[in-house]
Amino acid sequence: MPDTLTHTALKFPEGTTVYHGKVRDVYRLPDGRSILVATDRISAFDVILPRGIPHKGQVLTQLSWHMLQATADVAPNWADAMPDPQVIIGRTCEPVKVEMVVRGYLSGHAWRTYSAGQRMLCGAAMPEDMRENDAFPAPIITPSTKADEGHDEDITPEGILDLGLCTRAEWDTMAKYARALFARGQDIARSRGLILVDTKYEFGRDADGRILLIDEIHTPDSSRYFHLDGYAERQARGERQKQLSKEFVREWLIAHDFMGREGQKLPTMDDAFVNSVSERYIELYETITGRPFVPADTAAIAQRIQKAMEAYLGT
C-alpha cells in the first residue's frame, strides 16, 4: 500500500507555531502567513481513526484549492498558493469559533432531529410533512460551536452573539457568504451530475479585521453529495440516496458498534477497507472536478513537503 502522512514535524523559521488538528496541521509563520498541511488522517464522530488513508490529504488539498478558486468572486478567502499537493499557504486569520453549516436537504443530523419530532434546529425552522432527503424550500443555516477538543455543539445565532463569538455585523457577513458559497457549490455540483446536500464553512478575521473564508471547502470531509441522476425517482420510491461523502465511513463504524461514545472500542481497519476509503475519496475528486487524479509520490511525503516549502519560501 502507498505510504501515508499521519504526523508532521516540519522545520520553518524561528517563531513559527504549529497546531495539530484532527486532519490538518497548521503552521503559523512569523510573517503573517499560515501553512495548512492536509495529512492522511481521517476522523469520524470527532475521533481520529487509527490508520491513514492513502492520497486523502492530496484529494482534500487539491479539491479545496479548486473550490477556493471557483468561489473567490463570491467570498474572499485566505489562500494564496498550493506549493505541494498537500499544502496550501495563505494569510493567517484568527478563527471565528463557529461552524457555518448550510443544509439544502433534510439529511444527516437534520433528519435525526426532525424524526425525533423537533421542527427547529439551531434557530432554523423546518417545515412539516417532510421526508428524509427532501429538499428544503430554501437552504437553512444551522451553526455549531467550533470545539478545539471533543464534540461541536449546536447553537443558535442568538447564542453565538450572547457568547461573544462574533459581532452582529460579522454574523451577517458570514451568513451572507455562506449562502453565496452554498449556491455556487450547488451550481458546480449540478454541472458534474451531483447534488450538494449540506456542507460547513469556517471563517476567520485577517490582520485588518476582515472576515475571510478559511480552511477547506466542498470536500468529502466537510460536505455531503447525492448523485443527481435518479434522485427524484429514488425519493419518490422512498429509497436510500446514492451519495459521495464520508458518511459511508460513519456507517461502517456504526455497523461495528462504534459511535465515539465512552467505552466503545475502535474496530480494526483492514487493508481492504482502507483502500476502499481511498478509492471513494478519489472518485469524488474526479467526479466533481472532471479531472483525472494523479497521485503524488508517497515514498517520503514529509520530506517532499519540506523541500517544496523551502523552495517556495526561499529558505
Record the pTM: 0.91
Instruction: Classify domain 17-93+271-313 at the CATH superfamily level.
Output: Phosphorylase Kinase; domain 1 (3.30.200.20)
Instruction: Classify domain 94-245 at the CATH superfamily level.
Output: ATP-grasp fold, B domain (3.30.470.20)
Burial class (CB in 10 A: 0-12, 13-18, 19+), 48: middle
Query: Which pLDDT band holds residue 250 (cuts at 50, 70, 90)?
Result: confident
Residues 170, 141: contact at Cβ < 8 Å?
no
How far apart (Å, rounded) are the C-alpha atoms in residues 70 and 67? 5
Residue in this structure with the C-alpha cell 529558505, named with its chain if needed = 315
CATH 3.30.200.20 placement within the chain? 17-93+271-313
Of residues 99, 100, 87, 97, the one with CA closest to residue 33: 87
pLDDT tens for residues 21-56? 999 999 999 999 999 999 999 999 889 999 999 999
Question: Residues 60-74: what's their mean pLDDT?
Answer: 97
How far apart (Å, rounded) are the C-alpha atoms in residues 216 and 26? 12
Total count of residues recorded for the chain: 315
Percent of the chain topping pLDDT 70: 98
CATH 3.30.470.20 placement within the chain? 94-245
Of residues 5, 42, 9, the one with CA closest to residue 23: 42
Helices (H), 96-241: 108-115, 157-162, 168-191, 231-237
How far apart (Å, rounded) are the C-alpha atoms in residues 125 and 141? 10
Single-letter amino acid, residue 276: S
